Every structure is written in structure tokens, then in C-alpha cells.
Amino acid sequence: MINRRQWILLAGSLSTLPLGRIGTAFASDATAKIKAAVDAAVKPVLAQYGIPDMAVGMTRDGARYFREYGSASPAQTIPVTRETLFELGSISKTFTATLATLAEIDGKLTLQDTVGQHMPELKGTPIAGVRLLDLATHTAGGFPLQLPDEVKTQDQLMAWYRAWKPKYPAGTMRVYANPSVALLGIVTARAAGQSFAAMAERRLFPALGLKRTFINVPEAETHAFAWGTSKDGKPVHAGPSPIAAEAYGVSSSTDDMLRYLEVQMGVARDVPEPLARAVAATHTGYYRAGPFIQAAIWEQYPAPTKLEDMTNGNSSQLMGARPNPATAIEPPLPPGGDVIFNKTGSTGGFGAYVFAAPAQKLGIVILANKFYPNEARTKAAWEMMGMFA
């Protein structure tokens, strides 16, 4: 166990280190304990699932620790660092939710609005009557997890939304899906009169204090963009899709994602007031589904919680690939309180996880360049959290 004073002293010693690998730069007992604990949690996962590289970041009270494994580009032996870019997969959805709540604060929309109020081309179809809140909580009525491969253009996408038919009444079942959250982003951008990517990259990311977070990775940053690993072991990045930006298209680094968690937990004090309100609004609890409370994308667990509940909540089979009854919380649960929240994310070549315990001001980021089970990510973060119990 590492106490708060040891952590602060450790963080002070690490802050003078270069941005490269910290691997062998351990001088204090506290540092050695963190290294041993992170290695114990991560190395078996790397070996079991054949993950080529991984970056781990931890923040406690705003002090950060980093640990990296492997190479961002094995062919060139480029070491992974805290600035290496990884595809975040569905963690991107939390940014989409934040843009929606920020648009609400700006007076451009409300989460109680229906899709048809902002998308006249969808009026007269079942999706037109779905609330934006339903899109943000996976309770729209039963979208498929993925957009069909044959849908490749915006025109085809709108035709697909027009043809969609719900399986359940809105607000009754949680069905995790990319197309529903993507539509939330499309509506938000339409209401704001901007492209989604421009809203995210020109306004949201800079306001959050994120310096290496992108939807479109600039050419100058491609050297720091890790290659993912496909099922057959080939280097891969996510391909184009008309819903990629809104649903799973953000790439970032451990350093930026720790900053993002610090904003979520209220540790970062330099966030513009409207944005801080928007971030807090994404933590409002709207539904109970399975073992967690569904907020606007974020999945929250009342603290203290059990590892079994979190692994079940992050299970692709239990909560990702099947519908689960959603019980509305009336009135919605306000942001705050003693909760733990998390989000997994995956693409064809990457697996990511973010975890935060605001009461302890503790956040954990795990970014890997290969898909591996959500349950393994949850367990590794849980073991790291145990250092501070």
C-alpha cells in the first residue's frame, strides 16, 4: 500500500524525468512499489493475449505516473511513451456526450429534444420521436452494435436511419450500439452549425486542456501514432466510416487521457465554467441497467463496489452484446456522490480502458495496441487501485 504522502513525493520526483520511458528510473521505495504493482497487474495480460505494446497512466490528486511496455512501431523499434497515440475506440463516445451537454448549455438543444426536431430529413420515421437522451444512454430502442458494412456515405447513412425500426419502446432497454451514439453527435453538430470534427478538435479538446487528442491525426504526428494489431497479427488502423468520428474515432495519449480524467474528477481547476458544467452533466445518472448506473455514456458504480460487478458490467457478453432492462431513475441522480465510473473502448487493432474513483481522486488509463477482453482490462485496473486501499 502506498499512502498519499508517498505518492506526492513520488510524483514530485517523477515530474523532473524526461517524457520518454520511466521503466528503469526508479529510486524510491514508493516508486518501486508502484512499478511492481503495475507490472504484476499488466505483464500477465500482455503475455496471455499477446499484446505487443501498452501504455499505463495513473493520476492521484493530480500527480501522474506512467509505465510503458513494447514498441509503438515494432518494425522501427520506436518505444512507447506517455505521448504515443492510441485509438480510443468507444471511449470517444464520452466526448460526443460532452459536446451534446455543452450544446445544451449553449442553448442549441436539450437532451429532451427529439431527433426529428433537429433532423427534418428523418421526420415521419420511428427515429424522429427518439429523444437525444435515449441516444446518449443506449436506450433508443434497439440499434445494432455496428453499422452495416454496406453503409459508406452520408446519404446511405440517412437512408439507413430512415429505415430503422425499433425493437423496444424507447427508454425501456439498454442496447449498446455505435449508430445511436453517432446520431447524437450528428444532431449535436447540426444544432451547432459546425462539423463534428471541428467542434471536437477546435473547441472541446483545447478547452479540456488536451494537446495530443485528435479525430484526424495530423501528418506531423503520424510518427507517434501506434499501429494496432489485427486478429491475424498485421498492423492496422481503423478504417473510414460515416459514424467513426462520433462513435469511436478519437486517438489520444496516456498523458492527455489522465488530464481528461482529472477534469472528470474535478481535480483540474483551469477548466472554463461552462465546460465544467457540461462535463458534470454527463455524470447524471438516468437508468439502472445490470450492475451499474447509466449516465450519458459513462457507466457508474456506487462505491464501494465489487470487482465482480465491474467485470460483469464491462462484459461484452453480458452488457455489450445483449439487451438489458433499463429502469429509469426518477428524478435522475445528480452528478457527484461516491461513485466509480469507467469506460472501455476498442477498434479492430486497439483496446482501451479508463477508470476513475473521484472520492479518492484516483484515475487509471490503460491503452493497448491489440483488442483483448474488457474483463481483463477491468481486473488489471482493479489490482492497481488496490495499492491505494
Distance CA 113, CA 100 (A): 11
Pairing of strands 63-69, 228-229: unpaired
**Beta bridge partner(s), residue 352:** 345, 367
**Beta bridge partner(s), residue 362:** 60, 357
Q: Is 73 a catalytic residue?
A: no
3-state secondary structure of 355: strand
Task: Let me know: does 313 contact 299? Beta carbons within 8 Å.
Answer: yes
The Cα angle at residue 107 between residues 105 and 112, in degrees rounded to 5: 85
Among residues 65, 69, 176, 248, the one annotated as catalytic is 176
Among residues 90, 251, 253, 315, the one annotated as catalytic is 90
Q: Is 176 a catalytic residue?
A: yes
Q: What is the DSSP letter of 296?
A: S
Which are the contacts of 262, defined by CB distance < 8 A and separation ≥ 6?
A: 59, 62, 268, 363
Distance CA 310, CA 78 (A): 34
Task: Let me know: does 22 contact 14? Beta carbons within 8 Å.
Answer: yes
C-beta atoms surrounding 355 within 10 Å: 25
φ and ψ at 123, to 5 degrees? -60, 145
Q: Among all residues, which ones are annotated catalytic?
A: 90, 176
